[in-house]
Amino acid sequence: MWPYAVVAALLGLLLLRRWHRERQTVPRLSEKHVLITGCDSGFGELLARQLDARGLRVLAACLTASGAAQLRAVTSERLQTVLLDVTCSKSIADATAWVRERVGDQGLWGLVNNAGIAIPTAPNEWLSKEDFVKVLNVNLVGLVEVTLSLLPLVRRARGRVVNVASVMGRVSCFGGGYCISKHGVEAFSDSLRRELRPFGVQVSIIEPGGFQTGMIDPVPLVKGFLRLWERLPAETQAAYGRHYVDKYAKSTALLHRLSSSRLSHVTDAMTHALLSRCPRSRYAAGWDARLIFLPLSYCPAWLSDTIIGFFLPIPASGVP
């Protein structure tokens, strides 16, 4: 029995060492600048407030002037805002110049690519190329361009890049550009992590499950779904059937009810990735991410297809 006891003791010591290392934070937080995209609401807004409360110099990028004003009203004078549209190269260039003026020779300690959209979401056949491009431009292409523009400043600080992906980047449960974009974020982050490690830059991926951020609000999702349905050719409508739309609306409402309102699960993971001496490469956030979708991503395709298909509507001309 003693060999098993030795192995168990060594494993316990390794886990204890990892726990201790992950609890250690980087020094001089008050000197570090962190840029966060998508701070109008949701994860970005909450993370900006959390980091500001810890004394960091937060550079909050918002899409709208009203979102920036609301954030400044609930934070300290240290926090500064900038308007940023991640789909516009000029806006990214202007924001990069603005950041460079503020960080100076210190560089940018943290870049959090949080901005993202989910709509339009529907069966792939219902969507046009433009529908896919709309989501990909924000969630993936914009993320890449923002990162490339700011990498010299992050490298100067030997800092951190935190990219918000999703468990839907591992298990694609619905059509449209969202799951595709998040799968792309995973791939981009993996290659970036390996490339930047020699420079002392750490790259982390956040993989949230379902959270009530407004991105999966059933009202706009269903309204968008109905608009897509109405523009379909009669042949396609007949193939799917009107009941498909009703079942989709019920599934969306159920998804929203099961989603967590505790956005801090995600922002705490972001904070750890930015401030821990030993950040992780990946952070799964949410009970559904840990207990359902991550295990599902390792299942055989026939099993994951069967489980996910159980919750999907059956088209009128489909096979039950």
Sequence-distant (6+) residues with CB within 8 A of 184 are: 136, 139, 140, 169
Q: CB-based burial of residue 198 (10 Å sphere; 0-12 exposed, 13-18 middle, 19+ buried)?
A: exposed
CB 81 within 8 A of CB 60: yes
Distance CA 237, CA 230 (A): 8
Question: Helix crossing, 177-196 with 142-157: angle to 10°?
Answer: 20
Supply angle C-alpha 265, 267, 269, rounded to 5: 70
Sequence-distant (6+) residues with CB within 8 A of 15 are: none
Specify the 3-state DSSP secondary structure of 174: coil
Specify the 3-state DSSP secondary structure of 60: strand
How far is CA 52 from each of CA 56, 106, 108, 151, 209, rounded to the nearest angstrom?
Answer: 5, 18, 15, 23, 25
For 32-51, the DSSP string reads: -EEEES--SSHHHHHHHHHH
The active-site residue, picked from 178, 240, 244, 248, is 178
Tokens found for residue 21: 């290392």
* Known active-site residue 298: no
- What residues are annotated to the active site? 178
